[in-house]
Amino acid sequence: MVKIAVGTFDDSFSVASLKAYLSEFIATLLFVFAGVGSAIAYNELTKDAALDAPGLVAIAIAHAFALFVGVSVAANISGGHLNPAVTFGLAIGGNITLITGFLYWIAQLLGSIVACLLLNLVTAKSIPTHGLASGVNAFQGVVFEIIVTYALVYTVYATAADPKKGSLGTIAPIAIGFIVGANILAAGPFSGGSMNPARSFGPAVVSGNFDYIWIYWVGPLIGGGLAGLVYGDIFIGSYAPAPATETYP
């Protein structure tokens, strides 16, 4: 059964929670600044030429590295979500309450918006937004985003949220960064490979371009929710409690 918990305002506005929101804001800002910045840098270096294979690889690597660092620096404070779809997927498995999760969303979205405002200020360049490639319709775009976000949140559960992860948890930020980079290589030429409503929302707000923005909310939230249901509820939820006389790492 789904383990969604509403939570209380006292818990969601505790000192620890406020620190977590600030951590999510800062880490998301750093991630989006590097990710969107890599796209701006590519456009600048190639004089706005169409994205080619080396450019796609460079942008995928930039996102992978930036997310690896972002998750690492926030993990001990907020869990290092940096993504409303990750927060939603973890809420499905009972790892965060709805009230706290909603406030995580606000922090993540604000971090993305501020990152894009800073990029616009320091580069004086337009902010690139996610969009569908020619020949890709809205349904296909949503399906792409569902699949790649499912892979991301499933990886988050397996390496970070699973109580049996053991020493595997030490490589969680690397694994999460790698799956994002790989998914951008796979989905980038088609749907943009967002996997993250905050990553898409900040550029949309600053650029004023909200074309198809709903795709980058619907797809990732469905994908993240499914991953939370499958791994968090079916797999973790089926673990038998340890007997009182035994200890587990």
Q: Render each residue's pLDDT in the chain as its tens digit; 249 residues.
A: 567 889 888 899 999 999 999 999 999 999 999 999 999 999 999 887 778 899 999 999 999 999 999 999 999 999 999 999 999 999 999 999 999 999 999 999 999 999 999 999 999 999 999 999 999 999 999 999 999 999 999 999 999 999 999 999 999 999 999 999 999 999 999 999 999 999 999 999 999 999 999 999 999 999 999 999 999 888 997 776 544 444 333
The torsion angles phi and psi of 115, rounded to 5 degrees, stand at: -60, -45
- Domain ranges in the chain are 9-236
* 41/43 Cα distance (integer angstroms): 5
Burial 167-189 (b: 16+ CB within 10 A, else e): eeeeebbebbbebbbbbbbbbbe
Query: Of 73, 87, 88, 76, nearest to 27 (Cα)?
Result: 73
CATH level 2 (architecture), domain 9-236: Up-down Bundle (1.20)
pTM of structure: 0.94
